[in-house]
Structure 1
Amino acid sequence: MSELTVDLQRVFETPGIPDDNAFGRWAQRAWLGEDSSEVTIRIVDADESAALNGEYRGKNGPTNVLSFPFEAPAGITVPLAGDLIICAPVVEKEAKDQHKELEAHWAHMVVHGMLHLQGYDHIEDNDAEVMEALEVQLLKQLGYGNPYESEEAEQDS
């Protein structure tokens, strides 16, 4: 199994942000590459997330996770997967609004972002189905439920 080094940057602190080991475990599980690599996960506030979201995606306001795959210049081989920028206030609000466990939502954001770094996306419906199925599988391996099932659906089963 290939190793993934996680560089965690905590530039925003609030209760409920998981410990470093959790981030490492989640990112490693979602690293599907055959070669070892490195990822930077940066925990930010709403202002930094909004600034990056506006600059790189042309969208207003903060978002839960931004993924920046590393694109090496021609002829340069560096084992970097890229960067994940995760907005703690947005993750916390989404978990509360969606009635999800906070830790499970953090895990989902890391897995989701790691898949983006590896070329997965959810723009087209068929790509979204593939990516979501992989997220559900990886999160299950980590001990978390399906993040796309509503709480009502879980109560009905």
Structure 2
Amino acid sequence: MTLDITIEDSRWQDAGLAALAEQAAAAVLAHFSLDPEVCEISLLACDDARISELNAEFREKDKATNVLSWPAEELAAEDDGGMPEAPEADFTGEIPLGDIAISYDTCTREASEAGKPLADHTRHLIVHGLLHLLGYDHIRDRDAALMEGIEVLVLGKMGIANPYMNEDAP
């Protein structure tokens, strides 16, 4: 797999982002039986200031967020809860999936607030971002249920607990 990582915030280097991203991407690609040797993903590891700029520019939301994704190709299903189209190789034989940006500040804050290890939350956000590249979304109810279900399966295979479980629930 070609995983092109640009680290703008050195705290990501210290957090071991490269290994975490490789694990998360490999788990997602394996779940969908996609050949990692032909898949291309770009990952920008930044801070809240940079992700705020990107969020404002591309989503018209002038605030920080945890992860953003830009799919190389629109694969989303038309029907709520439908399966997205499978990505296809381009003329070079590669499958360009797209770009992901992740903010250290927001990721760290969310992990701390949830009492989760930073490594687990980081892998979750990369899985989440990669699913967006593959056409999954969480705007409509059935789409959200489908996407969350896949996240839980993929994270479980990495030994990460279901991030959507409310531990306070009876």
Q: Name the % identity.
A: 35
Distance 1:83-1:33 versus aligned 2 partners, 3 A rule: farther
TM-fit CA distance, 1:71 = 3.8
- Partners of 2:23 and 2:123 within 8 A in 1: no
**Hey, what does 2:20 align to over in structure 1?**
22
Match of 1:54 among 56, 59, 63: 56
Contact 1:49 1:85 (8 Å CA) reproduced: yes
Measure how far apart 1:17 and its partner are: 2.2
Q: How many residues align?
A: 148
Provide the TM-score with structure 2 as the length reference: 0.80
Asked if the contact 2:47/2:103 (under 8 Å) is kept, the reply is: yes
Matches within 5 A, 1:1-157: 4-14=1-11, 17-31=15-29, 32=32, 34-35=34-35, 36-71=38-73, 77=91, 79-153=95-169
Distance 1:47 1:137, change over 3 A: same
User: What residue in structure 1 maps to residue 82 of structure 2?
Assistant: none
User: Structure 1 CA distance, aligned partners of 2:46 and 2:16?
Assistant: 14
Letter of the structure 2 residue corresponding to residue 43 of structure 1: A
**RMSD of the alignment, in Å?**
1.9
Aligned residues of 1:17 and 1:88 also touching (Cα < 8 A): no
- What is the Cα deviation at residue 19 of structure 1? 4.0
Give the gaps of 5 or more residues in structure 2: 75-89
Paired letter, 1:139:
L
CA deviations over 1:85-141 (Å, ceiling 9, x no partner): 000100000111122221110010000000000000000011000000000000000
- Report the AA paired with residue 115 of structure 2: H
2:2 and 2:145 map into 1 onto residues whose CA distance is 28
Q: Which amino acid is the alignment partner of residue 28 of structure 1? A: A
The 1-side partners of 2:164 and 2:59 are apart by 24
Distance in 2 (CA, whole Å) between partners of 1:56 and 1:86 is 15
**Separation in 2 of the partners of 1:26 and 1:133?**
16
Matched residue SS, 2:143? helix
Query: Unaligned stretches of 5+ in structure 1?
Result: none
* 1:26-51 Cα shifts (integer Å, max 9, x gaps): 11111226352110111001111000
The CA distance in 2 between the partners of 1:65 and 1:114, in whole Å, is 10
The one-letter code matched in structure 2 to 1:83 is: D
